Structure 1
Amino acid sequence: MTVGQTERAIEKVGDLAATSMDLASFWRSCTEVISAVVPHYWAPCFFTLDPASLLITSHFHEGLEEFPAAALAHEYYGDDVNKLIDIVRSPGGLSTIHEATDGDPSSSPRWQFNMTMGGDQELIARLRTKQGETWGALGLYREPGAPTFSEADKQFLRAIGPKLATGARRAMTVGEATDPESLEGPGLLVIDDAWEVCSATAGAEHWLSLLPDGDRRVGRLPSAVVAVAAHSLQRVTDRGLVTVAFSRVLADDGTWILLHGAPLSGDDRQRVAVIIEPAHPARIYPLLMSAYGLTEREREVVELVLTGYSTNEIATELFVSPLTVQNHLQNVFAKAGVRSRRDLVAKIYFTHYEPRFRDNEQRVLRDEPVRGGPIGGWGPGTQ
């Protein structure tokens, strides 16, 4: 392929990234462009990652309806080369399994598994925006006996990486916006001091049905709603100012729900308005952390562990000693019920990310938009 053709292919990926389409359609369109420049076996394997934790949220591999459970387990529990977290954090953001093993991948369980799928060579490329957010990774494979990936191949993939990342980010936004499950807006309840519902929107009824231990058929509100309502009635400052009560609850379907309560004025009755809404991804980080009862410093340590930081790197980032980091880690392990940082990452992944990963596989088969973020609450960020 000529230089001009390669440049036009790069421009084409950029054009696709600027187009509003669902994620599966975006990956399919990009596959056509990539295949014309970089020959490969079967089909590309696209991954999306949570940019906050760098954990996998979805994959797309045309013809592979279900990502092998053994491969996913090895990614988080196994000890091997060419793992996604290592590559996306590396300076170059691209690696082949032959390079990672000095040309002899036979001792790599990852390579051995790839061979059972027909792929000898493996190339993984990071998908990071120019702003520095990593939204995914791209895996390409070649069958035994095929030429190795060339420097021209790698240069092309590095050139389109930021464009693929931008397109994935846009496509995830489009998917969230058009997903019927995401169209459930906040609900509003008005409750009196006897915990009777004075009025409720349809959205509130939807969220109430997901909260644990409530039963609207017999007039019993979920305890979380009653707690927020009661707390909000007390949230009046000495100067008469009202502050909003706030709570986060894990719903029966594994999602996090936010409750906001504020007292209403206007008559002699004590009433409170409770707003119920799904947790925004940017608020997810404190949710799971609160479930483990971690301190603020322990939360910071876990955030860095998830994104692949070593003990020394964490110490440098937090301006503490490596021994202090180790002490924090031991406390985290005890609270989370694990024995190592690898077990910690795997527990968080398979509890909170793998369900979304599998759900997205089914959504692609049903031609539904892929959804970003974990199920059950995770993702370092701010409220």
Structure 2
Amino acid sequence: MNAKIESFKQLINKLAGHGATSYEFRTALISRLREIIPFDAACFTAVDPQTLLSTGAVTEEGVEAIHHRLFEYEYVQADFNTYTQLVESDIPVATLSGATNGQMERSARYRHVLQPAGFKDELRAALVNDQSCWGYLTLFRKQGSPLFTESERDFVAELVPAIAYQLRAIHLSLPAEDTVWIEEGPGIMVLSDQLDIISFNDASAYWLHLLRQWEHITNHVIPRPIQAVCTRALADSAGSAGSSSLAKVCLRVPNGHYVTIQASRLNGPAGTIQLAVWIGAASPNDMLPYLSEAYGLSEREKQILDRVVKGLSTKELALSLHISAYTVQDHLKSIFIKTGVTSRRELLWRLFSRFHVYDTPDTTHLK
């Protein structure tokens, strides 16, 4: 078994190589994993590690029809093996048959979603690397197929770190220097609580087209990141600003752009519930965590970069972090080395010109 695991880990690295996109990597991995562990359908979702919401999914036949219901039982209904639970678990892989001791009827998700769709058992893996989750993998077996075994669960559990590592690497790979950034304005939509589009502006049609293209889905399917943020917003029964802030994803799309999608719950006419959705280029606060990870910055260096972008001087940086100006300079030197620049002015200009982190770089105080 150890030899088989090591061989498959090497295969994972190979599948992620040669500039594979996240979609290509996930599609290929499902195909090769089926050669080792039989299953009837699969869903492989990439997620925003900040909010654990979907940034796009690869779904096989039979899963697409129930995909929106799976969102409901992840974010709205309490049930066995939610991904939020698995992310916090010592072993982030579980089967529905194992969690219910073979009594799948104890699961509302099984009774109302899986069984009506012809599925019997489900194996779920939260893909965690370095304490951050980058995706969810779900395997399904139909009625009449054997249940997932403990050894199969253990096999997938051994692969989790390697799969998560490659998902992370793909997500954090920096866009090319000559990337042309999308200049389209924000898309704004209003949806019903059933996720039917009620109204939208012209820009949202543009963003919907791109999201569907990136996910390889048809025009009648609402992109999964929009489904995720909307379902999460609906789960906030009070609809308060504090909780609705979680209904948000930042995703890196194939051509290197960073896009933010956010939903807020609205009180509609006659007590109805509606959802406002915003889609557009990511803000500095959304992008910087990923850029900091991509450049391998330490936690302290991330704090300093965030303050540099906000325009703080060395003295202000030292005061805000309760460290000396000399220590600030040491951290800045390390940041310069990791990002390939030689000064604060050059660092800001790189963030501005390459990543569009902010509108107009003010470098007058950076002498």
Paired position in structure 2 for 1:56: 54
Counterparts of 2:242 and 2:101, CA distance in 1: 30
Match in the other structure for 1:184: 181
Aligned residue number for residue 27 of structure 2:
28
Corresponding residue for residue 118 of structure 1: 118
- For residue 39 of structure 1, what is the aligned residue in structure 2? 38
What's the C-alpha RMSD, in Å, of the aligned pairs?
4.0
Secondary structure of 2:91's match?
coil
**What's 1:93 paired with?**
92
CA distance in 2, matches of 1:46, 1:122: 13
**C-alpha spacing 1:211/1:29, structure 2 compared with 1 (3 Å):** closer
- 1:19 deviates by 4.1
Assess if the C-alpha contact under 8 Å between 1:172 and 1:371 holds in 2. Answer: no
TM-score under structure 1 length normalisation:
0.49
In the alignment, is residue 352 of structure 1 matched against residue 350 of structure 2?
no
Q: Deviations over 1:315-350 (max 9, x none)?
A: xxxxxxxxxxxxxxxxxxxxx985389x975x445x
1:165 corresponding residue in structure 2: 164
1:339 is matched with 238
Aligned residue in 1 for 2:293: none
The alignment partner of 1:102 has SS state of coil
Contact 2:175 2:255 in 1 (8 A): no
1:375 aligned to 2:299? Answer: no
Structure 2: how far apart are the matches of 1:98 and 1:344?
Answer: 36
Partners of 1:57 and 1:372 within 8 A in 2? no
Q: How does 1:220-369 map to 2 (within 5 A)?
A: 338-339=237-238, 347-348=244-245, 351-353=247-249
Q: Any residues of structure 2 matched to 1:134-153 within 5 Å, and which?
A: 134-153=133-152
Distance 1:372 1:127, change over 3 A: farther
1:159 positional shift: 1.8
- Provide the secondary structure at the position in 2 that maps to 1:116: coil
Alpha-carbon distance between aligned partners in 1 of 2:139 and 2:203, rounded to the nearest angstrom: 35
Q: Which residue of structure 2 aligns with residue 76 of structure 1? A: 75
Going from structure 1 to structure 2, the CA distance change for 1:52 and 1:59 (only over 3 Å counts) comes to same
- Structure 1 residues 69 and 370, CA gap change in structure 2 (3 angstroms): farther
CA deviation map 1:52-86 (0-9, x unaligned): 22222222113455763232123211121121111
Tell me, in whole angstroms, the C-alpha distance in 1 between the residues paired with 2:140 and 2:256: 24
Q: Give the share of equivalent positions with the same residue, in percent.
A: 21
Preserved contact between residue 17 and residue 163 of structure 1 (Cα < 8 Å): no
For the 8 Å contact 2:51–2:248, the answer to whether it is kept is no
Are the aligned partners of 1:13 and 1:33 in contact in 2 as well (CA < 8 Å)? no
Check whether the contact 1:40–1:142 (CA below 8 A) recurs between aligned residues. Answer: yes
- 8 Å contact from structure 1 (residues 120, 144) kept in 2: yes
Alignment partners' CA distance in 2, 1:210 and 1:94: 38
Q: Does the CA-based 8 Å contact 1:177-1:183 persist in structure 2? A: no
> Rg larger in 1 or in 2?
1
148 and 69 in structure 1: CA distance in 2 versus 1, 3 angstrom threshold: closer
Query: Which sections of structure 1, spanning at least 5 residues, go unmatched?
Result: 186-205, 213-250, 255-335
State the Cα distance separating 1:134 from its structure 2 match. Answer: 1.2
Give the Å deviation of 1:92.
1.0
Shift of 1:39: 0.8
Cα distance 1:66–1:103, how it changes in 2: closer, same or farther (>3 A)?
Answer: closer
